[in-house]
Amino acid sequence: MIIRNRYFLLADIVLLILAALLSFAIRLDTFLLGQRYLSICLAYALAVVFVKIPLFALFRLYSRHWGYTSVNEMLLIIGAASVSAGAMWGLVFGVARPLGLLNVFPRSVIVIDWLLTLVTVSGTRLAARILHGKLPGGSAKALALRRPSASLKRVLIMGAGDAGAMIARELRANPGLGITPIGFLDDNPSKHGMYIHGLPVLGSRHEIPALVKEEAVDEVIIAMPTAPGKAMRDIKHICQEAGVSFKTIPGIYELVSGMVSVSQIRPVQIEDLLRREPVQMDVAAVSAYLRGATVLVTGAGGSIGGELCRQVARYEPRCLVLLGHGENSLYHMERELRLSFPHLTLDSVLADIRNQERIGRIVERFRPDVIFHAAAHKHVPAMERNACEAVTNNILGTQCLIHAAEQHGVGRFVLISTDKAVNPVSIMGASKRVAELLVQEAAQRNGGVFVAVRFGNVLGSRGSVVPLFREQIARGGPVTVTDPEMRRYFMTIPEAVQLVIQAAALGQGGEIFVLDMGEPVRILDLARGLIELSGLQAGQDIEITFIGRRPGEKLCEELFVADEEYDTTVHEKIFVARNNHPVDGPALYAAVAELERLAREMDRDGIVAKLQEIVPEFRPEG
């Protein structure tokens, strides 16, 4: 919240009058001034307002963002108070005394008034800074606008908030970086004309083209970690039109501590252009089930599983167990967590979730309170060719884990599912739908908090479309798109995981939570955006070719199965889907046992037929 400068003006008028009156009271050691001094005191108090307020305005005390008060701003207040005290001395002893108007005026009153002015004026500004929670730092306007040497990069900071202020402070404090900020831009009109750490807020994003020319700007730093994708896309477009390079800082999901530093400035990525409003976490509800708990994460070396480990670790669990099948990815994740969370009790276990005996012993050994099950085969075309792997890993692996969790009293079990499980046309999607049914059946049978969380594609996960497009662009193209009208729901990995953790706190047992993924994005638009972010033009520098849909792919994914009822939850970005009919446990387990037999025999046609029996909405293509 910005405390507007007009409030500081009103406060100064009142406090300056009080300071003047109190100066006489202190000097005369009484609040009863008597007839001799009362008229002099009132005249002096009135003169103070008409002399000091204009001088304060001249020192720009009413055109600053006092939430970022620094040592330099305090020095400015001392200067303004001293000059105004000198002006009052000159008025009293240089004008009024020679005219015979203030013959009994005590000299020490002006000194006392100067001290009280310092206390009152700086006190209100300091209070604003404390309320705003900012760190000190800054510089004067003259230094901000002075032309630097040609070797320094001149930058504009887009975003005059917390992140922008931190970036500005660090850049000013480290001239060796070779970057000099010349000012801020912000879309909030109330900030325009203010100074933050001595740098002016020069206008909104629409001022970028003019400022690039007038101030020889080399780069724009977008310091807006909570800005939605639409704003990021607009700023990117303006910068491109102005012919200026641009960089950004991580989005709010990527910032672990909430603190921003220059080292985090990086090129704008496609994730920034598609980001959405930040998730408001119910920290108390999440902490209630994670802090002090033993948490086991399967697929811990993968994109989703790894991010689950990072975010869970921040809630100080008693023990975090990483379970994975790839030794290299598991090693790197364990090493990262030990560096980031040195006091965390951490164990990593190399295991295949399909090994019932091994999984049972692991769960028995660690006795986890919470299991996040992220291990799965997820690539649609690969699972079309390897149906038996989809069955054994996605279905039988989930069954093994559920059995071990029930046997050893795990209270909370969270399956990571996918929108491809809704009215599936792929074997992968159908296998994940069966995994959802297994979780729901377990919940209705054991009464535990066994839930599934369903969401769409995550940007930048291994093997996903974004890394593929980047690789194709690096090779000079072409970028291959399956269909010009293909759309997908996208989330960033940190956002998806944050919502998974939140959804798990909402679970009572048997729910399938569906994350609000916004509007689906055309894959063609995604490809064009990545090409532009590489500094190239689609159709000129990099060709886009259409290769046709692959087996198991829809033009657009769906979110809910036909017989599911869905409703909102207390969290605006999480929906809940419930089956209208209870899951027939014996029939489901008999069908899964048959799938296990068919997988051993590598009978793809038999697997497809059995999946259609379990998941009637499964409509395989071809």
DSSP 176: G
From CA 398, how far away is CA 438, in angstroms rounded?
8
Asked which of 397-406, 458-467, 601-610 is least confident by mean pLDDT, the reply is 458-467
DSSP character at residue 206 = G
Q: Is residue 420 included in any domain, yes or no?
A: yes
Residue 26 lies in a domain: yes
> Most confidently modeled of 144-148, 165-169, 373-377, 582-586?
373-377
Q: How far apart are the first and last CA of the chain?
A: 59
In the chain, the largest separation of any two C-alpha atoms, in whole Å, equals 115
pLDDT over 90, % of the chain? 39
* Beta carbons within 8 Å of 101's beta carbon, 6+ residues apart: none
Asked which of 115, 132, 149 is the last residue of a domain, the reply is 132
Closest CA to 440 of 585, 277, 590: 585
Q: Give the pLDDT band (50/70/90) at residue 145.
A: very low
Could you tell me which residue, 439 or 175, shows the higher pLDDT? 439
What SS3 string covers 577-601?
A: EEECCCCCHHHHHHHHHHHHHHHHC
Boundary (domain end) residue, out of 93, 114, 132 = 132
Q: Answer yes or no: are the C-beta atoms of 216 and 192 closer than 8 Å.
A: no
Between 334 and 529, the more confident residue is 334
User: What's the number of domains the chain is made of?
Assistant: 3
Instruction: Identify the residue with better confidence: 97 or 432.
Output: 432
Res 147: pLDDT: 42
3-class DSSP state of 114: helix
User: 58 and 178 share a domain?
Assistant: no
Instruction: Give me the catalytic one of 236, 420, 432, 573.
Output: 420
Q: Which is higher by pLDDT, 235 or 9?
A: 235
Q: What is the mean pLDDT of residues 564-575?
A: 79
**Based on the domain organization, do 233 and 295 belong to the same domain?**
no
User: Could you tell me if residue 621 is inside a domain?
Assistant: no
172 and 269 share one domain: yes
Does residue 221 sit in the same domain as residue 368?
no
Q: Do residues 236 and 297 both lie within one domain?
A: no
Q: Could you tell me where the beta strands, DSSP code E, fall in 84-136?
A: none
* Digit-coded pLDDT (tens) for 209-259: 999 999 999 999 998 887 888 888 899 999 999 999 998 887 655 554 445
Domain range for 539: 283-614
Q: For residue 418, which of 504, 489, 487, 503 has the smallest C-alpha distance?
A: 489
Tokens for 453? 């969380």
Q: Is the pLDDT of residue 275 over 70?
A: no
The burial of 392, by beta-carbon neighbours within 10 Å (0-12 exposed, 13-18 middle, 19 or more buried), is given as: buried
- What pLDDT, on a 0 to 100 scale, did the predictor assign at position 233? 87
Contact 73, 64 (CB under 8 A): yes
Q: What value does the mean pLDDT take over residues 286-304?
A: 94
DSSP state of 205: G
What CATH number did the domain enclosing 293 receive? Answer: 3.40.50.720
241 and 360 fall within a common domain: no
420 is catalytic: yes
> Looking at the structure, do residues 449 and 513 belong to the same domain, yes or no?
yes
Q: Which residues contact 157 (CB under 8 A, 6 or more apart)?
A: 164, 167, 168, 181, 183, 184, 185, 199, 220, 221, 223
- pLDDT confidence bin for 138, thresholds 50/70/90: very low
Q: How confident is the model at residue 605 (pLDDT cuts 50, 70, 90)?
A: very high
Highest average pLDDT, of 19-33, 51-65, 224-238, comes from: 224-238
Asked whether 517 and 277 are in contact (CB, 8 A), the reply is no
Q: What is the pLDDT of residue 279?
A: 60
Domain-embedded: residue 181: yes
Indicate if 451 and 348 belong to the same structural domain: yes
Q: Could you give the 3-state DSSP secondary structure of residue 338?
A: helix
**Two structure tokens written together for 548:** 């046709």
Question: d(Cα 201, Cα 192) in Å, to the nearest integer?
Answer: 5
- pLDDT, tens digit (0-9, with 9 covering 90-100), for 543-556: 999 988 877 777 77
DSSP lists the bridge partners of residue 294 as 319
Which residues, 6 or more positions from 352, have their beta carbon under 8 angstroms from its beta carbon?
325, 358, 397
Q: Per the domain annotation, does 15 fall within a domain?
A: yes
Give the pLDDT score at 607.
96
DSSP state of 391: I
Rounded Cα distance between 60 and 20, Å, is 22
Q: What is the token pair recorded at 44?
A: 């002096």
Residue 10 has pLDDT above 90, yes or no: no
Is residue 88 located within the same domain as residue 178? no
pLDDT band for position 65 (50/70/90)? low
Q: How many residues are recorded in the chain?
A: 622
> What pLDDT score was predicted for residue 1?
46
Residue 622's pLDDT is what? 56
Provide the pLDDT confidence category of residue 173 given band limits of 50, 70 and 90. Answer: confident
Q: pLDDT, tens digit, for every residue of 487-544?
A: 887 777 888 898 899 989 998 888 899 887 777 788 888 888 888 887 778 888 889 9
Which of 239, 273, 307 is where one domain is finished? 273
**96: in domain:** yes
Over residues 577-595, the mean pLDDT reads 87
Shared domain check, 436 and 323: yes
